[in-house]
Amino acid sequence: MSTDTLEFRRMTLADVPAVIRVEQEVYEFPWTARIFSDCIRVGYQCWLAQNGAGIVGHAVISVTAGESHMLNLSIAQRFQRRGYGSRFIEFLVEQARANEAETMLLEVRPSNTAAINCYNAAGFSEIGSRKDYYPATNGREDALLFARHIPPLNDALGRSAT
């Protein structure tokens, strides 16, 4: 697999140590190994993106009752700003669509302008905020709430869903 190729696979418990290394590299307040392990155990969709150089990033989404929630999306620093995040988002949206989700939601720190730009480019729109959502060095930071409509597969292919 070349470094330009991006492949996706389900995260396993054995992957958690490598996932934690990426998580700690990119976040001041990273998720813990226990959080990732619990997400795998309860059946959330936990994914890895890989290329010939190794793990590019990881993501966790939940899908239930027609709605998907992107709980975590992390791209290793050395792979950022290469379009991998956008490709990973599109993959996650397709996974949500395959599970009949009509909307994908996510939260993002207002200070994370790179992620906000990526989400806007991927068709997400800001729909609100959540007060004191994230831990911060001096207390708490609000989250911006973003959403993206996911048309049914037939609509996405330009055909009628009926």
On whether the CB atoms of residues 110 and 141 are closer than 8 A, the answer is: yes
In the residue annotation, 119 being an active-site residue is answered as yes
**Residues sharing a CB contact under 8 Å with residue 135, sequence separation 6 or more, in sequence order:** 29, 141
Cα–Cα dist 90/147, whole Å: 14
Selecting among 23, 44, 84, 119, the annotated active-site residue is 119
Under DSSP, the state recorded for 31 is: P
Cα–Cα dist 149/126, whole Å: 12
Selecting among 94, 100, 102, 107, the annotated active-site residue is 107
Q: What does each C-alpha distance from 74 to 24, 47, 102, 112, 160 come to in angstroms?
A: 10, 11, 23, 12, 35
* Residues taking part in catalysis: 107, 119
